[in-house]
Structure 1
Amino acid sequence: MLKLGGYINIIIAIAHIVGLLWAEKMFEVTGIGKEMAELAQTHSSLPYLVTIFVAIVFLIFGLYGLSADNRFRRLPLVKPLIFVIAGIYLLRGIGELMFDLEKQQANQFLEITYSLIAVFIGMTFLIGGLRKWKLKPANG
């Protein structure tokens, strides 16, 4: 599970960088076109820098997933950070899903899909972490 979550994050990171080739379309498709246009009014490079930063975060999450699955060198604080990553994804997914279900908008399907994907990725980290570091009996 950790390997799957790790690879998914790395793919998402790569998609963010590749998507910068068609930035405006990517921002529009992901539902953040308006926000990125406002950010670009401050400075034209900010949407690109934010996207690169987000890609780096996804890459780090991916490397932690692979590290926890022993596919990559041991990273610091791997055990607690696997559960932090799971929590971030689950909070984002479940919280946004609850919010999306309450509002009625044209792009609701896309937002619900992103929320379900976040829940799925969060579960890969949570289940993978629980399996890897399951509690051992005190007498065993």
Structure 2
Amino acid sequence: MKPTIITSVITFILVLWSFYAFSAAGVITQLPFVRTIVVVIAGIYLLRGVAGFYFMNNPLGRTPEFWIWSSSICLVIALVHILGLKQVWSTFA
């Protein structure tokens, strides 16, 4: 049951973050605090991506390959968010 709950919480958070990314891109209506929240989301992805390379030396029960791939994916997602923010920054109210 525990893995199901953890995965469900992660899924909920990622869906919520996607709504904010779509809102920032103008695909859906503007959500409250969109600029601040998308900056925080990009920061979290960036932090996770960088921190994962540190954990390769202390894997916490995961393989180094896991940390390389998941960190790389988080860094790419952070880059996409940062580039998107740069494009629409001036359009926020």
TM-score, length basis structure 2:
0.84
| Aligned residue in 1 for 2:71 | 115
| Aligned residue in 1 for 2:50 | 94
Give the AA of the match of 1:112.
I
Structure number with greater Rg is: 1
Percent identical among aligned pairs is 28
Q: Which consecutive residues of structure 2, in runs of 5 or more, have no partner in the other structure?
A: none
Cα distance in 1 between the residues matched to 2:62 and 2:16: 33
Q: Which consecutive residues of structure 1, in runs of 5 or more, have no partner in the other structure?
A: 1-44, 135-140
**Matching of residue 54 in structure 1 with residue 10 in structure 2:** yes
**Matching of residue 66 in structure 1 with residue 30 in structure 2:** no
Q: What's the RMSD between the two structures over aligned residues? A: 1.9
CA distance 1:69–1:88, change in 2 (3 Å): same
Aligned residues: 89
Q: Which runs of 4+ in 1 moved over 2 A?
A: 102-107
TM-score, length basis structure 1:
0.58
Cα distance in 2 between the residues matched to 1:86 and 1:53: 19
User: Does the 8 Å CA contact 2:55/2:67 hold for their aligned counterparts?
Assistant: no
